[in-house]
Each structure stands twice: as C-alpha cells, then as structure tokens.
Amino acid sequence: MTLLLRPLKMRSMNEQEPLIPHDSKSVVAWSALATIGWGVGVLAFFIFVQLMVTVFYVGSVYGDISQEEFASIAREIQYNGTLLALSLTSTGLICTALVVMIIGLKPGTSLIEYLLLKLVPWWEWRRWLGLLVAFMVVSTLFSAVASRETPIFVTEVYSTASPFWMLLLALIVAAPLFEEVFFRGFLHRGLAQSYVGHVGAIVITAALWSAIHTQYDYWEMTMVFFLGLLLGAARTYGGSLYLPLAMNAAYNAVSVVIFHAFR
C-alpha cells in the first residue's frame, strides 16, 4: 500500500515546485553571434516575403498601377485585413520552415531539443494559462483606467478582412507559430547559451518581439513587451515551447472575441 501511495505523493510534491529553469541542459546550438546573424537574415527574408505578398495582392486587386497611384492607396492597403491575413499566413509558414532549415544546418543538433518541443504536465498548463488570464485582466483594467480606445489598425483590419476566417486562422495559427519558433525558440536558444543566460534571453526576445509590432503605439508595444516576458518565462520555466505557442494563440483568439463582443 505504501508503494502505491508513494508515486502519488511524489507527483503532488512536483506540482508545488518553485519556478526554476527546466531548460538547463546544454544543447548543440548556433553561437549567440551566429544566432544574431541568422536572425537578421530571417527578418530580412520576412520583410521580403511581406513585400512580395503585397505586390501580388495589389496587382490582383488593382491591376497595373503607377507609383503615384500606389502611393494613394498605401494607407488603404496598410489597414487591409485580407492583405494582412495573406501576409501573416505566408510569412508564418515560409519563415518557420526557414528557421527549421537553419537549425538543421547545425551539425549534431536535435530539432526537438533545440526548440524545446516537449510534452507539458497538466499543472504547468494550469499555472501558465492562469498567469495569462491574470495578465489579460490586469492589462485590460489598465487600458480602461487610461481610457485607451481600440487601435485604429485593429478596427480597420477586422472590418476589412474577407473572408474573416482567413484572418482568424492567420492570427491564431500562422503568426504565433512563426513568432514562437523564431523568438522563443531559435533566438532564445542561441542567446541563452551565451553570458546573458535565460533571463537575458527572455528580456531581449521580448524587446525584439515588441519592436516588430510597429502598427501599434508605444502603449500597445509596451503591453506586447510584457506579454513577451510572460511567454519567455513560460518557455523557460515551464519547460516547453508548446506553452508560449498555445498562450500566444489563446491571447489572439480571446482578443478577437473581446473586440467583437464589446465593439
């Protein structure tokens, strides 16, 4: 009877473990300098894919237009939900594949270990999804107290997306997939094995992630930064990239629901 109870007791103790890094194992990875170099290349290719999608969309919708005509519709396509959906889906899938390929170029490495693709115990899901809910409640309250309105970008994008499910798929699947594989996966791995460690990698990747959200103002970008810190902590202290991936997708999904519920 004692032997049967022992595993249950040990499991209960594990559930109460303090937050400690679950990614302390040394993994064969690109150096911090190489990671930065590859990262710059991935972001440059990301922008290139965005540009190609934009050119394709403008050509399909508006036909052959002059530079002056393109300038006149620049703001319109900037807030176009259909174009954003196409762009997020294209960059998300293509650039994620590029990151996986770059990891594969490193001799002796394992994709699963590199990206920390490990199964997550249910108590870790409970912990980090609970923290995500708390973050969303607090950030919403702060926005309400500060009388913050929904960004024009969000309103325009949601109202112009056709079909809307394509934008929803891009926000919940494609965008989180690339963001987590690239920032919390690839970049974090290379930076964390340098002198900055896991804490430095969490802060740096959160800052870089918020910096690419140029469609928002400083307030929204600050919220993205704090969310990035939470996602980075989930990856490191939760022990799996699946955690921030699911949290990122859930955050976007809930944001869409809240927007449509209170608009």
C-alpha distances out from residue 261 to 155, 178, 245, Å: 13, 28, 25
Q: How do the pLDDT tens digits run along the chain, 263 residues long?
A: 444 444 444 444 445 455 666 665 678 999 999 999 999 999 999 999 999 999 899 888 887 777 777 777 877 788 899 999 999 999 999 999 999 999 999 999 999 999 999 999 999 999 999 999 999 999 989 888 887 777 777 888 998 888 999 999 999 999 999 999 999 999 999 999 999 999 999 999 999 999 999 888 888 899 999 999 999 999 999 999 999 999 999 999 999 988 877 66
- Calpha distance 213→151 (Å, rounded): 13
| Res 174: pLDDT | 97
By C-alpha distance, which of 48, 32, 55 is closest to 95?
48
CB atoms within 10 A of CB 54: 18
Q: Would the pTM of this model clear 0.85, i.e. be above it?
A: yes
CB atoms within 10 A of CB 58: 19
| Res 19: pLDDT | 65
| Res 7: pLDDT | 44
Listed in order, strand segments (DSSP E) in the chain are none
| Res 189: pLDDT | 96
